[in-house]
A = this chain, B = another copy of it.
């Protein structure tokens, strides 16, 4: 059942327009440097992220696992993550807990030398939902399964809410996070609606190591569920998907809010290396890409590779054209913020 749903998610994400109406990265402008005084070939795109080194500050955000098709996707992504020295997350690993025969759809990434590996579990699963919460042993299992560096706990309550069958308890999550943060390096991750500054602060206090914002701009699960509902002919669920289609904190605003508090992975709507540079310029340490890689990953290593190579190229070009020799300088580069994003930056 999970497996079937996962595949449906992938097909919808590949074929339908599941993006927010406005991509707020379009409201961020970097200040051009006509005379960059940089040799492109000397630009160092490398970064250290909490002790590990990456080729450039890109994360392949958590997408899949727990289905046959996912195995291929994860393998292709891992191959490219190794090639470009990227961080990579796998999709929610609940399936591997429930059904260990699906474990290899995740652990396939161990066949490649991925510098930062991120396990993934939903925040809703950390607390009882009718059924019992996932226990620490299970988490240790998935963490070890991929030899993870981090555990992304994804906060996808919008998605849960737009499904009638979704998990509906969020109480106690922070307590569980606090407990788990002794044993695991936790990244608090959204899936399309972003984190506010206050929430980032609360998560930092609970021992979280980093935030992946995944704000409003790109994939929204209200849209994904809208299309699932459409396939099912479920008018009620279609309506709630429409109502919450554009719900959330714009990605760049969320990066800006949270990066005062914790290391941040800027994500949600990144389409290219210029968007990545914008994320860094607003304070992110890394930037995460999900849906924009999906179709390529479903196709071949070469397809993803070409895409990632372009992202790296565009990112390096943005560094060059702003006259920044390394990623740490880029974080302080000048920028201009346009409407409608501006309203969010001023609260």
Give A residues with C-beta under 8 Å from B.
29-42, 123, 155, 157-158, 161-162, 168-174, 188, 190, 193-196, 199, 202-203, 236, 239-240, 243-244, 247-249, 272-274, 306, 309-310, 313-314, 317, 320-321, 334, 336-340, 342-344, 347
18 pairs across A/B with beta carbons < 8 Å? A31-B347, A32-B193, A32-B247, A33-B196, A33-B199, A35-B155, A35-B173, A35-B188, A37-B170, A38-B171, A39-B169, A41-B169, A161-B317, A162-B317, A247-B274, A334-B347, A336-B347, A339-B340
A244 near B196 (CB under 8 angstroms)?
A: no
A344 near B336 (CB under 8 angstroms)?
A: yes
Please name 4 further chain A to chain B contacts, defined as beta carbons within 8 Å, in addition to the given A34-B188, A42-B171, A247-B274, sorted by A numbering.
A31-B196, A31-B347, A34-B157, A239-B272
A157 near B320 (CB under 8 angstroms)?
A: yes
Q: Which of A33, A35, A347 is packed against the most chain B CB atoms within 10 Å?
A: A35
B244 near A274 (CB under 8 angstroms)?
A: yes
A35 near B203 (CB under 8 angstroms)?
A: yes
Q: Contact check: which of B168, B193, B247 meets A40 at CB < 8 Å?
A: B168
B243 near A274 (CB under 8 angstroms)?
A: yes
Contacts of A334 in B (CB 8 A): 196, 347
Distance (Å) between the CB of A87 and the closest chain B CB? 21
Contacts of A162 in B (CB 8 A): 317
Residue of B nearest to A166 (CB): B40
B320 near A34 (CB under 8 angstroms)?
A: no
* Bound-state Cα–Cα, A196 to B41, Å: 24
A240 near B317 (CB under 8 angstroms)?
A: yes
Q: Contact check: which of B38, B123, B168, B240 meets A41 at CB < 8 Å?
A: B168
Contacts of A342 in B (CB 8 A): 343
Contacts of A37 in B (CB 8 A): 170-174
Contacts of A310 in B (CB 8 A): 236, 239-240
* Bound-state Cα–Cα, A344 to B342, Å: 13
B190 near A314 (CB under 8 angstroms)?
A: no
Contacts of A42 in B (CB 8 A): 171
B273 near A36 (CB under 8 angstroms)?
A: no
* Bound-state Cα–Cα, A52 to B171, Å: 30
Contacts of A173 in B (CB 8 A): 35, 37
Q: Contact check: which of B196, B202, B306 meets A32 at CB < 8 Å?
A: B196
* Bound-state Cα–Cα, A240 to B314, Å: 7
Residue of B nearest to A173 (CB): B35
* Bound-state Cα–Cα, A170 to B38, Å: 5
Contacts of A170 in B (CB 8 A): 35-40, 320
Contacts of A172 in B (CB 8 A): 37
A306 near B39 (CB under 8 angstroms)?
A: no
Contacts of A35 in B (CB 8 A): 123, 155, 157, 170, 173-174, 188, 199, 202-203
Distance (Å) between the CB of A237 and the closest chain B CB? 10
Q: Which of A34, A338, A339 is packed against the most chain B CB atoms within 10 Å?
A: A34
Contacts of A171 in B (CB 8 A): 37-39, 42
Distance (Å) between the CB of A200 and the closest chain B CB? 9
